């Protein structure tokens, strides 16, 4: 049996859902299509210079969008209503900025690595099918 790689186990992924830094995977048999198991793993953040620059760019775009929107809404409403609308928009902008920061820490490579790690938790439910060159459910 070969060592699992993302490319070899990808046909077994029925669904991979990212929730924060966690990837939750539903596994299937690629031969029968039947769901076999579920597992999850945590992604490792990408701390490379490229990832940090990408994070900064995404956050800047999100921040500028919300602050421009905040300014327009505040001026349009004016007075107390404008101040309240600005406060609400600033809070939304801050939350969006935090979400953009968290999501940009993880790359496709970190997602794939987490899926591979999650497969290792259910690997004993699959056997290598040499004829089809894939992992199939054990019978």
Residue 98 in domain: yes
Same domain, 32 and 79: no
Same domain, 63 and 99: yes
The pLDDT assigned to 79 comes to: 78
Mean pLDDT score across all residues of the chain: 85
Same domain, 90 and 121: no
> For 43-82, b where at least 16 C-beta lie within 10 A, e where not — what string?
beebeeeebeeebeebbeebeeebeeebeeebeeeeeeeb
Same domain, 35 and 75: no
Give 22's strand partners.
19, 42
Please tell me the pTM assigned to this model: 0.65
- Of 18-32, 101-115, 124-138, the one with minimum mean pLDDT is 101-115
Smallest CA-to-CA distance from 125 within 110, 104, 139, 111 is with: 139
Range of the domain at 69: 49-104
Residue 116 in domain: yes
Q: Is 136 helix (H, G, I), strand (E, B) or coil?
A: strand
The pLDDT assigned to 131 comes to: 94
The pLDDT assigned to 48 comes to: 73
Put the strands of the sheet holding 13-19 in their side by side order.
13-19, 22-28, 35-42
Residue 1 in domain: no
Q: Are 30 and 136 in contact (CB under 8 A)?
A: yes
Q: Would you say residue 67 has pLDDT above 90?
A: no
Q: Are 15 and 23 in contact (CB under 8 A)?
A: no
Percent of the chain with pLDDT over 70: 92
Same domain, 62 and 19: no
Give 35's strand partners.
28
User: Model confidence over 68-126: pLDDT tens digits?
Assistant: 877 787 778 777 877 787 777 778 777 776 666 665 678 888 999 999 999 999 999 99
The pLDDT assigned to 41 comes to: 98
The pLDDT assigned to 82 comes to: 76
Residue 17 in domain: yes
Same domain, 37 and 19: yes
Residue 94 in domain: yes
Same domain, 125 and 96: no
- The total number of structural domains in the chain stands at 2
Same domain, 132 and 114: yes
Same domain, 96 and 132: no
């Amino acid at each position: 049996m070969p060592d699992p790689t993302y490319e070899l186990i990808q046909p077994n992924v029925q669904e991979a859902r990212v929730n924060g830094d966690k990837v939750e995977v539903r596994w299937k048999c690629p031969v029968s299509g039947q769901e076999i198991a579920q597992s999850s793993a945590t992604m490792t953040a990408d701390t490379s210079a490229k990832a940090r620059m990408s994070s900064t760019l995404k956050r800047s775009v999100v921040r500028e969008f919300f602050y421009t929107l905040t300014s327009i809404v505040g001026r349009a409403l004016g007075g107390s209503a404008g101040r309240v609308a600005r406060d609400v928009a600033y809070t939304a902008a801050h939350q969006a900025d935090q979400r953009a920061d968290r999501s940009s820490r993880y790359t496709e490579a970190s997602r794939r690595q987490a899926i591979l790690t999650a497969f290792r938790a259910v690997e004993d439910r699959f056997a290598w099918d040499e004829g089809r060159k894939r992992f199939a459910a054990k019978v």
